[in-house]
């Protein structure tokens, strides 16, 4: 459950909450008219798949949902908040570690929070910095207290533990904060995986204790590597904490997709049915659909923007590398029938190929817009398919069209 706060004029308040100002050591009064506790609602099921909605202070998210990744409070590909709204974005993701480094979480706090800072009025989820424990393995040291990083920017030392992550995410003011965790790499032996999982469990308890914002939901993260019994153990432990939602970390880290699907199937019966389930870092078309089939509600991935910068577009008939010579005289849109800005406004594959070859920024912007809209529309279709009890049939239709190729 997450607290939704409705702000009113100061003279109308019925209660107030103190938030510490770490820069001045004074206390600021935030006046609240009403605190409502909202729940994730499952509206329809088809097998393990769920059609639901999750309420946040900045809006209600229809699930299953794909979340665009704006690591540094911006989508790579030159898309503004207004652009994201036009393509149907429901919720954005930003990163605690990167925003702590620059511009600094206190700068964001003083601006009024991440929503005002990036002019995005919808829900925002912030990663805890835990993924950088995995991705920056060569630049960090893990201890029980937390992790010391050597900044990837200039090498200076940064310490982040559960309490620091919660403080930074409180300053950022996201709707959903993720608990600080340790993700075991793939492959990883059982001994190391157990140690990482148990540390993650101790850290989430510290996160829960340190997390004080009533207008921000704290999600725990299930770990356990590729060991089904550890995944189940972690799911049970996290469920016992009764958090507003749960991430599933440590998958899509290099293992075969079938192994990821097997882990999901093994652990899903032990995930709370009344809480949202977030499969972290997963977003290819096949994984979005297969994850939804197995009961996942939330996804995020940088795939859509990363491949766009290299000229690769997602379509219903598979990926198209638009820099290829075969598109030099192709005067059709990226995808016929697509309602994204690029496809609706006459930008042809031949023209976009020219932009890619010339390394024009517009190429990345157009393909990024298309790829994000493709993924958001795919999830709209997944939600509709669940409502109509035809998700498995929809999956087979996509396979037949080559969407997953």
pLDDT tens for 297-324 read 999 999 999 999 999 999 999 999 999 9
As a whole number of Å, the CA-based R_g of the chain is 21
Catalytic, 300? Answer: yes
Q: What is the mean pLDDT of residues 13-25?
A: 37
Last residue of a domain, one of 268, 301, 334: 301
Residues 352 and 273 in one domain: no
Q: Facing residues of 320 across strands? A: 313
Catalytic, 393? Answer: no
Other CB atoms within 10 A of residue 28 CB? 11
Which among 181, 215, 297, 300 is annotated as catalytic? Answer: 300
Q: Is 88 helix (H, G, I), strand (E, B) or coil?
A: coil
Q: Which residue has the higher pLDDT, 59 or 12?
A: 59
H/E element, 236: helix 228-240
Q: Six-digit token pair at 108?
A: 């964001």
Structure confidence at residue 4 (pLDDT): 43
What is the spatial distance between Cα 83 and Cα 65, in angstroms, rounded to a whole number? 18
Residues 339 and 294 in one domain: no
Flag whether pLDDT at 281 surpasses 80. Answer: yes
Residue 334 belongs to what domain range?
Answer: 312-405
Q: Is 319 helix (H, G, I), strand (E, B) or coil?
A: coil
What is the spatial distance between Cα 87 and Cα 372, in angstroms, rounded to a whole number? 8
Other CB atoms within 10 A of residue 102 CB? 10
Backbone angles phi, psi at 211, to 5 degrees: -80, 120
Give the residue from 298, 241, 295 showing the smallest Cα distance to 268. Answer: 295
Place of tokens 């998958």: 251
When pLDDT is cut at 50, 70 and 90, the band that residue 161 belongs to is: very high
Nearest 10 degrees: Cα torsion 64, 70, 73, 79: -100
Flag whether pLDDT at 169 surpasses 50. Answer: yes
The helix/strand count (H/E) of the chain reads as 15, 20
Structure confidence at residue 364 (pLDDT): 97
Structure confidence at residue 78 (pLDDT): 87
Q: What is the mean pLDDT of residues 153-158?
A: 90
Flag whether pLDDT at 87 surpasses 70. Answer: yes
Residues 252 and 324 in one domain: no
Structure confidence at residue 130 (pLDDT): 80
Which among 105, 127, 175, 215 is annotated as catalytic? Answer: 127
Q: Is residue 90 part of a domain?
A: yes
Q: Is residue 13 part of a domain?
A: no
Flag whether pLDDT at 29 surpasses 80. Answer: no
Last residue of a domain, one of 254, 277, 301: 301
When pLDDT is cut at 50, 70 and 90, the band that residue 140 belongs to is: confident
Flag whether pLDDT at 201 surpasses 60. Answer: yes
Look at the chain and count its residues.
405
Cβ within 8 Å of residue 187, ≥6 positions away: 226, 255
Structure confidence at residue 132 (pLDDT): 84
Residues 176 and 290 in one domain: yes
Mean predicted lDDT score pLDDT of the chain: 91
Structure confidence at residue 235 (pLDDT): 98
Q: Is the dihedral of CA 99, 103, 106, 107 positive or negative?
A: negative
Residues 336 and 275 in one domain: no
351-368 pLDDT per residue, tens: 999 999 999 999 999 999
Q: Which residue has the higher pLDDT, 17 or 352?
A: 352
Residues 266 and 317 in one domain: no
Q: Kindly report which listed range (61-75, 141-155, 167-181) carries the lowest average pLDDT score.
A: 141-155
Residues 43 and 143 in one domain: yes
Last residue of a domain, one of 301, 327, 362: 301
Cβ within 8 Å of residue 198, ≥6 positions away: none
Q: What is the mean pLDDT of residues 185-192?
A: 97
What is the spatial distance between Cα 175 and Cα 186, in angstroms, rounded to a whole number? 31
Whether 256 contacts 217, CB under 8 Å: no
Q: Kindly report which listed range (34-43, 93-102, 396-405) carries the lowest average pLDDT score.
A: 34-43
**β-bridge pairing 92-95 and 65-69:** parallel
What is the spatial distance between Cα 303 and Cα 404, in angstroms, rounded to a whole number? 14
Q: Is residue 14 part of a domain?
A: no
Residues 193 and 130 in one domain: yes
Structure confidence at residue 2 (pLDDT): 43
Structure confidence at residue 135 (pLDDT): 79
Number of domains in the chain: 2
322-348 pLDDT per residue, tens: 999 999 999 999 999 999 999 999 999
Q: Kindly report which listed range (3-12, 113-122, 154-163, 210-219) carries the lowest average pLDDT score.
A: 3-12
């Amino acid at each position: 459950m997450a607290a939704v706060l409705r702000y009113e004029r100061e003279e109308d308040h019925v209660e107030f909450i103190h938030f510490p100002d770490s820069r001045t050591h004074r206390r600021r009064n935030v006046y609240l008219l009403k605190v409502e506790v909202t729940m994730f609602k499952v509206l329809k099921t088809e097998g393990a798949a769920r059609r639901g909605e999750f309420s946040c202070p900045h809006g209600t998210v229809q699930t299953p949902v794909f979340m665009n990744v704006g690591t540094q409070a911006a989508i790579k590909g030159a898309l503004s908040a207004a652009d994201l709204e036009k393509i149907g974005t429901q919720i954005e993701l930003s990163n605690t570690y990167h925003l702590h480094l620059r511009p600094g979480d206190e700068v964001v706090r003083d601006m009024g929070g991440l929503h005002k800072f990036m002019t995005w009025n919808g829900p925002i989820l912030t990663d805890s910095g835990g993924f950088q424990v995995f991705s920056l393995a060569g630049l960090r040291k893990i201890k029980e207290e937390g992790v010391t990083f050597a900044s990837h920017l200039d090498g200076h030392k940064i310490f982040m533990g559960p309490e620091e992550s919660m403080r930074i995410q409180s300053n950022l003011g996201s709707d959903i904060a993720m608990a600080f965790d340790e993700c075991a790499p793939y492959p990883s032996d059982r001994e190391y995986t157990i140690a990482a999982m148990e540390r993650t469990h101790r850290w989430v308890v510290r996160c829960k204790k340190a997390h004080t914002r009533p207008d921000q939901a704290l999600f725990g993260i299930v770990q356990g590597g590729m060991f089904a019994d550890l995944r189940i153990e972690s799911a049970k432990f996290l469920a016992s904490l009764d958090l507003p939602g749960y991430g599933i970390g440590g998958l899509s880290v290099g293992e075969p997709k079938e192994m990821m699907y097997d882990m999901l199937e093994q652990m899903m019966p032990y995930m709370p049915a009344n809480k949202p389930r977030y499969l972290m870092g997963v977003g290819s078309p096949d994984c979005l659909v297969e994850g939804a089939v197995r009961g996942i509600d939330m996804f995020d991935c940088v795939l859509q923007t990363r491949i766009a910068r290299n000229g690769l577009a997602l379509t219903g008939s598979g990926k198209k590398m638009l820099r290829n010579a075969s598109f030099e005289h192709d005067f059709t849109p990226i995808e016929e029938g697509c309602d994204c800005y690029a496809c609706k406004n006459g930008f042809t594959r031949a023209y976009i190929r020219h932009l890619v070859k010339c390394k024009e920024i517009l190429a990345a912007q157009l393909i990024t817009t298309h790829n994000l809209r493709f993924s958001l529309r795919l999830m709209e279709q997944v939600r509709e398919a669940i409502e109509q009890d035809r998700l498995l049939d929809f999956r087979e239709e996509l396979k037949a069209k080559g969407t997953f190729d």
